[in-house]
Amino acid sequence: MTHCAHTNILILGAGPAGLAAAGAAATSGRSVTLVDDNSCPGGQIWRMRPGGQSQASPLASALARSPHVQIHQGTRCVWVAGSHQVMLDAEQGGWLQTFDQLIICSGARELLLPFPGWTLPGVTGVGGLQALIKSGVSVKGQRIVIAGSGPLLLASARTAQQAGATIVRVAEQAAAASLARAAIGLWRWPNKLQQAVTLFTPVHRPNCQVLEATGTQKVEGVRLRQGKREHHLACDRVACGFGLVPNTEVAQALGLTPQAHQGIAVNDLQQTQLTHVFAAGECTGIGGAEKAWVEGEIAGLAASGQWELAQKKRAERARWHAFARHMQRNWPADHSATAAAMKPDTLVCRCEDIPAAELADCTGWIEAKLHTRCGMGPCQGKVCGTAAATLWGWQPPPVGQLMHPCRIGSLANIPCRHGPASSTAGS
């Protein structure tokens, strides 16, 4: 087993941005290594199964045939070991990967906020439900309530419906007026407008808040408040999420400092403050697959020295940035109702079973860590930290050096004298 490897261009993430970056960089003749933690390329939005198809397939197949491109699925970056080296971990073991240029395409995760009963089996995120269905979980004949806020609700409802589920309700927290404002402005992006229209469903209700998921061993129903009225719906699954949050851990570990829940800062050639590090896609700011694609192309071209071609894409980039700004401005992100629905025994840290009551007297992470085990479990605060930042304004905990649980055997097999022995970043 190789303990270390070198590549010219390392790309983390094979969603739309990473695939586009790999495709653009591959034409340069430089060596490209594309790494992704799922079993197949496509990220979240183009998720597919082995032997399956998605919008990712044509490019993924082409890349697989390209002599300059190595693809490692089922592989994640667990550790930034230096400015030009990371530790990658896969089922067969880990290795130190050194690189000349890095393109971070780490995408986004869902904003998952605590509510009473959210820990019951059968309660998932909205994107989480889509991911489950696309990976083979059957929802045929199941009654599902989709809740929270954001454009993902309708897309997820459609996926579930096509998979044979009955969507009992799409409970959107935002008010009808806000949604109308968001929809009206979509005329500038006709394909988005068409998407919105086709995804519309009669069970959609705005101004609808999740109060509680009910059940004992698993979810059996959900209590909702619409306007001033509360009601209870029986269901087999509750999918609740509040939009997307950029994944910026690798950038933080490199010493770049994205603001809490903002994306990685880049210039219009997708370059970060570190000249050899680029970032593209949802990790630079939420904006959808089209934004991710063009940013990936730009990053791949720029990282491989194809600057003129990269610059030609700026107009298209600007178009999708305008779309991202439109959605951000017009889709409200008010979570006070969620904060109010929490009860003292609502768990905030799921890894360590810490209820809200234990955190009530804490004003931030320093105090929380002084008095509880909040954030000390395997997710290392990725879920509860994001929730606390959103609901209470807590500064998120600093990213640990190990960015995901990793087999000790993998960590132990990593001596490497190969590649640039750069000084470590981010002390």
Partner 1 sequence: MTHMITLEIDGHGQTVEDGITVLAALSQTGIGCTRLSITGQPRSALCGMGICQECRVAVDGLRRLACQTLVKSGMRVRTLSGGA
Partner 2 sequence: MGYPHLKRDADTIVVGAGIVGAACAHALAAAGQSVLVLDDRRGGATAAGMGHLVVMDDNPAELALSVTSLRMWKQWQTLLPQACAWHGCGTLWLASDDSEIQTAIDKQARLHEAGVPSELLSAADLRTREPALRTGLAGGLKVAGDAAVYAPNVVNWLMEAGDPATRIRFRQATVSALEAPSVRLSDGTVLNAQAVVLANGVHAARLCPDLPIRAKKGQLAITDRYPGLVHHQLVELGYVNSAHHATGASVAFNVQPRPTGQLLIGSSREFDDTSNHVNVDLMARMLRRAMDYLPGLTDCNATRLWTGLRAATPDSLPILGPHPSHAGLWLAVGHEGLGVTTAPASAHIVTALMTGAACDIEPTPYLAQRFAQPYTRHDTHDHT
Q: Which residues bind partner 2 (CB under 8 A)?
A: 79, 81-82, 85, 87, 96, 366, 370-371, 377-378, 380, 400-402, 405-409, 411-416, 424-427
Tokens of 13: 């993430």
Residue among 134 and 326 whose Cβ is closer to partner 1: 134
Alpha helical stretches, state H, 45-121: 57-65
- For residue 280, the minimal CB distance to partner 2 (Å) is 26
d(CA 25, CA 301): 6
Helix residue ranges per DSSP H, 115-200: 126-134, 152-162, 176-184, 190-199
DSSP conformation letters of 281-329: GGGGS---HHHHHHHHHHHHHHHTT-HHHHHHTHHHHHHHHHHHHHHHH
Least distance CB 317 / partner 1 (angstroms): 26
Per DSSP, the three-state class of 204 is: strand
Q: Which is nearer to partner 2, 325 or 371 (CB)?
A: 371
- Smaller CB distance to partner 1: residue 282 or 297? 282
Q: Does 112 bind partner 1 (CB under 8 A)?
A: yes
Enter the tokens of residue 315: 């107009």
Write the single-letter amino acid at 218.
K
**415 lies in the site for partner 1, by CB under 8 A:** no
Displacement of CA 39 from its chain's centroid (Å): 16
**Distance, CA of 30 to CA of 27 (rounded, Å):** 8
Determine which helix (DSSP H) or strand (DSSP E) holds 253, and give its type and residue range.
helix 249-253
Residue 234 near partner 1 by CB under 8 A: no
Q: Is residue 50 a contact residue for partner 1 (CB under 8 A)?
A: yes
> What is the nearest approach in angstroms of partner 2 to the Cβ of residue 302?
28
124 binds partner 1 (CB under 8 A): yes
Quick one: what does residue 202 bind among partner 2, partner 1, none, with the CB cut-off 5 to 8 Å set by partner type? none
Output the smallest distance, CB 3 to partner 2, in A. Answer: 9
Between CA 238 and CA 44, with CA 128 as vertex, the angle to 5 degrees is: 155
79 binds, among partner 2, partner 1, none (CB under 5 to 8 A by kind): partner 2
Q: Which one, 85 or 159, has the nearer CB to partner 2?
A: 85
- Bridge partner residues of 87 (DSSP): 79, 96
Selected binder of partner 1 within 10, 59, 382, 396 (CB under 8 A): 382
Residue 50 binding target from partner 1, partner 2, none, CB below 5 to 8 Å by type: partner 1
Identity of the residue, 82 or 128, whose beta carbon is nearer to partner 2 in the bound complex: 82
User: Which helix (H) or strand (E) segment is 167 a member of?
Assistant: strand 166-172
How far apart are CB 303 and partner 1 at their closest, in Å? Answer: 25
In order of 129, 279, 293, the CA distances from 427 in angstroms are 38, 21, 33
Instruction: Kindly tell me which of 26 and 145 has the beta carbon lying closer to partner 1.
Output: 145
Long-range CB contacts (within 8 A, 24+) of 185-189:
185/326, 185/330, 186/326, 188/322, 188/323, 188/326, 189/319, 189/323
Nearer residue to partner 2 within complex by CB, 95 or 115: 95
Smallest distance from the beta carbon of 187 to partner 1, in angstroms? 32
- Nearer residue to partner 2 within complex by CB, 206 or 419: 419
Q: Is 426 in the site for partner 1 (CB under 8 A)?
A: no
Q: Report the partner that residue 81 touches, choosing among partner 2, partner 1, none (CB closer than 5 to 8 A by kind).
A: partner 2
* Residue 404 makes contact with partner 1 by CB under 8 A: yes
Helix or strand (DSSP H, E) at 410: helix 408-412
User: Given the rule CB under 8 A, which residues bind partner 1?
Assistant: 37-39, 44, 49-52, 74, 76, 109-110, 112, 118-125, 127-132, 135-138, 217-218, 350-353, 377-379, 382-383, 404-405, 407
